Amino acid sequence: MDILLSFAERGSKAAPAAGPLHRIYFQYLCGEEFFCHALPFDRSSMTRWRGRMGEERIMALLQESLSLAVKTGAMKPADTRQVIVDTTVQPKNVMFPTDAKLIHRARERLVRLARKTGLNLRQSYVRVGKLALIKHQRYAHAKQFKRANKALRRLKTYLGRTIRDIGRQIAGDAGLDALFKWPLYQAATVLEGKAHMPYEFGVKASVATTLKRSKGGQFALHAKALPGNPYDGHTLASVIPDIEETIGNEIGRILADAGYRGHNAPQSHRFRVVTSGQKRRVTPAIKRQMRRRSAVEPVIGHIKAEHRMGRNYLAGQQGDAVNAILAAAGYNFSLLLRWLKGFLSLLIALFQLRPKPVAA
- Among 166, 165, 150, residue whose Cα is nearest residue 100: 150
pLDDT score for 319 = 86
pLDDT score for 342 = 86
pLDDT score for 138 = 96
pLDDT score for 121 = 93
pLDDT score for 21 = 56
Q: State phi, psi for 274 to the nearest 5 degrees.
A: -120, 125
pLDDT score for 5 = 58
pLDDT in single tens digits along all 360 residues of the chain: 556 656 666 654 555 545 555 567 777 777 777 877 777 677 777 778 888 888 888 888 899 999 999 998 889 999 999 999 999 999 888 877 778 998 999 999 999 999 999 999 999 999 999 999 999 999 999 999 999 999 999 999 999 999 999 999 998 888 888 778 776 667 888 887 777 778 888 899 999 999 999 888 899 999 999 988 889 889 999 999 999 998 888 899 999 998 889 888 888 888 999 999 888 888 899 999 899 999 999 999 999 988 888 888 888 888 888 899 999 999 999 999 888 888 888 888 888 887 777 665
Contact 132, 144 (CB under 8 A): no
